Chains A and B, each alone.
Chain A
Amino acid sequence: MADITFTLPDLGEGLLDATVLEWLVAPGDFVERGAAMVEVETTKSTVELPSPRTGVIAALHVDEGGVAEVGSPLVSFAADDDQAGIVGTVPADEVPVRRVRLTIPED
């Protein structure tokens, strides 16, 4: 078994790092893709990052209270050997894109 590692995403606002407030998963946990995984704080807000994949957590790379830099390892999942060596980025929970209003306003 090897690991698949995900890094801290760019959270926007020109921020270079974030503080890990609380891990909502632990090594050995089975986690579904999209489930709440970790809570991080920037200078402007807090963000809950969802799990980037379904699988078993192998390692957390930043302690609670520690600072993670954008692009540095955040979490690893256990993986089959044929998937070893993959490095991805945890997706930020994107602000929804504004949708175009299709109906014509009354006024």
Chain B
Amino acid sequence: MHTFAYARPATLAEAVALLEAHGPAARLLAGGTDLVIRLRDGTARPAVVIDVKQIAELRPAIREENGRLVISAGTVMTDVASDDRVRRSFPALAEAAAVVGSVQIRNRATLVGNVCNASPAADTAPPLLVSGATVVAEGPGGTRRIPVDGFFVRSGVTTLARGELVTAIELPLPARKLGAVHMRRTRRRGHDLASVTLCCAVDEAGVTRLAYGSVGPRPILMIDESGVLADPAGSDEAKAPIFERMFADASPSPRSMRASPEYRLAMLRVLGARALRTAIDRLARG
């Protein structure tokens, strides 16, 4: 393994200072489920690894605050998936967190880490997009709140500025009743990377929010306020053109060996229709 310096700041301010000083030569370590593998295979060769696990503000915690659920940067997938408040208010996020990696990985990997990697296939990205989540970043200029839809750029790249790190993700507790679901396509049922990952939420006002990933450089959020998609009695023919508009931006890579673009695009439509049916059904069942 390549040699690197290891820092374990005790405060957020120290972490920010280190990040600012080293810029792209620094990598943050929380769960380590991506970073350690990259250190070992040499695809990441940072000068310094900043371990953020000792910073009090980042310690694992999920708390309710001013109508929002706040998930700290140290919170692992297992805890996200099993948290009662997440399961009640953001069931699709719980479903997504429960299929990331394997049991061992979910016990280490953090939700914030998943978001910061900005993998187009990140399973938690679609439910966060659908839920209108906000990324809370701390940096040299203070605290910044970034809507998650404005956070992802492409694989490994976010809109974080030099010196910034994510301290939490905030999810506004839904004001309306809704039904939501997360679905994915993988090559096998056991743990795998998604070749399509998708979340659909339908609320009682007839708004359908659909987000999907792994079919382009970044996950995409689409909203239908016409009420056509959410209509339980609506015909497939009526819904089809809206789906087509929603999926128009999907552009899967032809270089991937996980699935051909043709198959991904076809499965996006299959999952979209299935997820919509499930979301409508869940809304009806309350």
> Are A and B a genuine interacting pair, yes or no?
no
Q: Which residues of B does A touch, CB under 8 Å? A: none
